[in-house]
Chains A and B, each alone.
Chain A
């Protein structure tokens, strides 16, 4: 389980994508995908990252692995700054971190057999060749519940769930310490999703892995994570050590939690309907980015950006009025914990 030792420290991370146009491709503006984000990931924990589409969760995950260069800020992996590393250092470091992408069909080369796909990282890093490589690949496949018959098959011969297992095996090949799980089950069915989630939990225990678990599905994030960070328009609005669903303190997290349809007809109509949609990250609202949709917003929210404040116990909230608001979903959630117990 999670220790107090920090594996990754993200400090004031920014990632802007330039928008260019006109004859000379002049830069007209920036998409502020990730805008001043600070958080730590402890050894052995799963940090969940939730938010709606376009909130910057995937960009955050990719920037940590330096698959995308950061615009500003620091990312420390075991004390070393990933953003300033030389190419050689980066190659060495990349053995320690890995990623599982959302769409397993798109992230596997259709012309590589499973043996080659999973074995590639081992070959590239000069760890094994020939017969030894085959045995290592086989061992990895067995870890994720596939077998020898699958070695020489191509991605199209697998079902979605099996393909995701292949991607997980490939991510595990170099025995990394840290894996970014970018929406790993969003394209799979419920029954297969349960299999994949269980597998990821087992592997985490077996290999002592640290996960950054990115998803838009709050129920899945809750199931997988030790701590949960909620993102909105490029900013972390809340980071909780406990259960976001019992003690959300930011109005956005509370509304998000209430909007998730719960498979229990007794809880019908509990959703707090937020007006409108997520604004564009090109021209984010001034002050608190959530203020145009927030029912508690005041003039103060329009003018000043709220800082992420520690509300005790490491529960960070970026709201001027954190702790003072009456977020009505709370008591309702307490009621349904009881009635859901039998289902």
Chain B
């Protein structure tokens, strides 16, 4: 693996990376700080989370809890004044021969990272109005991603052969013999295709872009590819962005509040699309959201974040049937529900803390009704309290209530 100079300091660069082969992403103890004029914002304080192959992981939490920073740290897109301070982001890389080697994304060079970003790990951002570039056509933007990341020479050659075969059937212009001999020549190149010209790449990428738009169930994809972003509605723009991020067959797709700006009926369409595509593409998805409804609807695993810490991590059914961390429990009680009517909502007192001076010990303790002095003084360790159910809390609730003092 290429491990040349980079800003992410570490001392064990040559040691073999150990990673569970079922995982595609293993984030361990990730710490990210932002150095602002007011002080150091400790945005992530030891985030640990795993994504198995084929999983849909939800990162859920309120504003400022570090969901998006986690995603940006995984992609190494944290801009100054932000800095990734510690931790590991292990990614199971797979080459064309199907060999799988784990790499630490925080230690590889920027060149390697650029090949992974958008190609193996793709991201869809929140606001579909700002992300597609307004001055380029939708199809060209998707084609750009494809031609940058993918080797299209084999496909171009195959297209040429198909073209020749069509010409043979019609038998116009050149004689059939000429065409047949050219066809043989081209077929001989199949094992080692020649470098295509830039026009050929452009056309092939363009064709593929239309295919991608079709895949995200875009009505009349060929016309849409010729339109500018402002001509599309919000839901269609979001589909175009999803098409763009899926165009390189990424192993992981990160959807950062991808449906937040959409209306509910359109949101339902996009969520269904993501679920369908995951099955087709053998990719894993990370959904970042503040909406527990979206989590229940689409995800298999959930990590609940609070003030830069993953306080609870388990599978979706378990989280909703047996929430153990007091914050998760409070959050579930605080949402008005469509299916029942209550007089008053149970509220969590206070507000999210300022992360320049985060609370000592457990970061949730000032708002927690179960908090004791112990919570103030010492941060609870991350532990597996039930099989597959991880929490950081001194006073677990739910089925584990009273298990610890």
Contact = CB atoms under 8 A, between A and B. Distances in A.
Contacts of A222: 336, 338, 341
Contacts of A266: 317
Contacts of B372: none
Chain B CB count within 10 A is highest, among A194, A245, A269, A274, for: A194
A283 interface: no
Contacts of B290: 189-190
Contacts of B268: 258-259, 261, 271, 273-274
B164 interface: no
A161 B351 contact: yes
Contacts of A330: none
B345 interface: yes
Query: By CB atoms of chain B within 10 A, which of A216, A243, A257, A259 has the most?
Result: A259
B152 to A, nearest CB: 33
Contacts of A159: 351
B347 interface: yes
B296 A263 contact: yes
Chain A interface size range? 35 or more
Interface string A221-237: 01110000000000000
Interface string B341-379: 110111110011000000000000000000000000000
A263 B337 contact: yes
A42 B267 CA distance: 34
A316 B298 CA distance: 34
Interface in A267-296: 267-269, 271, 273-274, 277-278
Contact of B269 (A190, A219, A224, A273): A273
Contacts of A23: none
B265 A194 contact: no
Given A261-B291, A265-B320, A340 B263 contact: no
Given A159-B351, A264-B296, A265-B296, A191 B265 contact: no
Given A219-B336, A340-B340, A263 B264 contact: no
Contact of A223 (B294, B297, B317, B341): B341
Contacts of B294: 261
Contacts of A333: 339
B334 A194 contact: yes
B338 A191 contact: no
B272 A220 contact: no
B337 A262 contact: yes
A76 interface: no
Nearest to A338: B339
> Which of A255, A261, A277 has the most C-beta atoms of chain B within 10 angstroms of its own C-beta?
A261
Contact of A262 (B298, B316, B339): B339
A278 B263 contact: yes
Contacts of B9: none
Contact of B292 (A243, A255, A263): A263
A303 interface: no
A218 B296 contact: no
A341 B62 contact: no
Contacts of B352: 189, 191
Nearest to A55: B263
Report the contact-size class of chain B (Cβ under 8 Å from the partner): 35 or more
A197 interface: yes
Given A194-B348, A255-B265, A261-B296, A219 B337 contact: yes
A343 interface: yes
Contacts of B317: 265-266
A151 B387 CA distance: 51
Contact of A219 (B234, B296, B338, B344): B338
B267 A259 contact: yes
A52 B264 contact: yes
A268 B297 contact: yes
A65 to B, nearest CB: 25
Nearest to B261: A53
B271 interface: yes
A206 to B, nearest CB: 14
A160 B336 CA distance: 19
Nearest to B266: A277
A161 B330 CA distance: 17
A289 to B, nearest CB: 14
Interface in A321-343: 333, 336-337, 340-341, 343
Contacts of A201: 344
Contact of B347 (A191, A271, A278, A336): A191
A269 B268 CA distance: 9
B264 A197 contact: no
Given A190-B290, A191-B62, A261-B291, A53 B344 contact: no
A216 B264 contact: yes
Nearest to B292: A263
A201 B344 CA distance: 8
B233 A336 contact: no
Nearest to A244: B338
A277 B338 CA distance: 23
Q: Which 8 A-B pairs have the closest CB atoms?
A: A261-B293, A223-B336, A194-B334, A52-B263, A189-B62, A259-B268, A191-B348, A194-B347
14 contacts: A160-B63, A191-B352, A193-B334, A219-B293, A220-B336, A222-B336, A222-B338, A262-B337, A262-B338, A263-B292, A263-B332, A264-B320, A337-B339, A337-B340
Given A265-B316, A343-B332, 15 more contacts: A52-B265, A191-B351, A195-B347, A216-B263, A218-B264, A219-B338, A261-B267, A262-B293, A262-B296, A263-B335, A264-B296, A264-B339, A277-B236, A277-B266, A340-B337
Interface of B: 62-63, 233-236, 263-269, 271-272, 290-298, 316-317, 320-321, 330-332, 334-342, 344-348, 351-352
